[in-house]
Amino acid sequence: MNKILKRLILPVVCSLIPAVLFGCGQSGRQISFFKYLGEDTFIAEMMDYMTTVVPEGINFEVRDAGNSQSVQNQQIVELIEAGSELLVINTVDRLASSAIVARSTASGIPVIFFNREPPEDALIGNDNVFYVGADPDSMGRMQADMIAELFTENFAGSRFDRNNDGVVQLVILKGEQGHQDAERRTDHSIARLMELGFEVEVLATEVADWNRRDGFEAMRSLYERYGDVIELVFSNNDDMALGAIDFLLEAGIFSEGRAAYNQPFIIVSVDGTAVGLEAIGRGLLYGTVNNDSIKQSNAILTLIDFILHNKDFDDFPFEITREHYIYIDGDIITLTDLADFTR
């Protein structure tokens, strides 16, 4: 599988931008970016990259909703009225997508949603309305594949089988109750592990809202209840996994200077953020699934170019599913692969 050098973000000038992106010499176009919460590490990295490579002559604004859908709704209305020609939206609540599309399309303004997949009826039948993100089913399966490579078919009686019962006892750090990525990553990670022949017991699931602080508290609660029984943690993203690790280091359960597979139990996550990759290098996080923010960003920027300049979508370089969806594949990242994703 080809690896993406995810951390390489170069200063971009017009002559270095791929020809598919915007076209040099264009000016005066106005686009707007909306993020659900600026404190989200993955979203922050993605927005930093996109706003770095938007070429000179494309005007843009970035609004942070602070995790409030009502605030985001008002921001969208304000920037539509201010003359924005295209909206790029990471919604707070995916169920608000239909109302957003109705408002924007009534004004003739295209919309690109990212990271939080809208319900299908918000997209289907609407021109120039798209979603860009990862396939959460694949992300969950790759978490399980990563673990299968470590545990192998001889899990029973191995050092990973802490109570020698042959069953993988695991806990889940879920991003958000009802969020499609959280639910599907969770369901498919467990189903895939069972499909690969492992007997699995889910001890508990804690919702930690995608963030490091709540991941700390969730891991505290889980460890107080299950302690030495835990053999595996599936985290829906890196930030929650890092919060769990913060607690485990503070409590003296995990130690610096060990390999991840020699910690008391294994933690795997999703995203491939810079801080997540650092934790892999330190032997605290066993691995993560690369939620390829660079490739997703480039797909969004290419969409912007095709929409604003009325280009023929027969030449669009990314696969579009069901006329509206662009799913970007990820990669498994463990210590073995780390050099391919860092510079």
Confidence of residue 11 (pLDDT cuts 50, 70, 90): very low
* Residue 138, pLDDT above cutoff 70: yes
Helix (H, G, I), strand (E, B) or coil at 224: helix
CA distance 11 to 322: 35
> What mean pLDDT is predicted for residues 160-164?
96
pTM: 0.88
> What mean pLDDT is predicted for residues 16-30?
50
Instruction: Give the homologous superfamily in CATH for domain 136-290.
Output: Response regulator (3.40.50.2300)
- Do 341 and 4 meet the contact criterion of CB atoms below 8 Å apart? yes
Confidence of residue 343 (pLDDT cuts 50, 70, 90): low
> What mean pLDDT is predicted for residues 27-51?
93
Q: Would you give the distance in Å from CA 298 to the centre of its chain?
A: 15
Domain ranges for the chain, please list them.
14-133+292-329, 136-290
Q: Could you read off the pLDDT of 286-325 as tens digits, one per residue? A: 999 999 999 999 999 999 999 999 999 999 999 999 999 9
- Per-residue model confidence (pLDDT) at position 28: 72
CA distance 60 to 47: 12
- Per-residue model confidence (pLDDT) at position 180: 84
* Residue 238, pLDDT above cutoff 60: yes
Confidence of residue 131 (pLDDT cuts 50, 70, 90): very high
CATH architecture of the domain covering 14-133+292-329 = 3-Layer(aba) Sandwich (3.40)
Confidence of residue 230 (pLDDT cuts 50, 70, 90): very high
Of the two residues 287 and 19, the one the predictor is more confident about is 287
- What is the per-residue burial (b if ≥16 Cβ within 10 Å, else e) of 83-118? ebbbbbbbbbbbebbeebbebbeeeebbbbbbbbbb
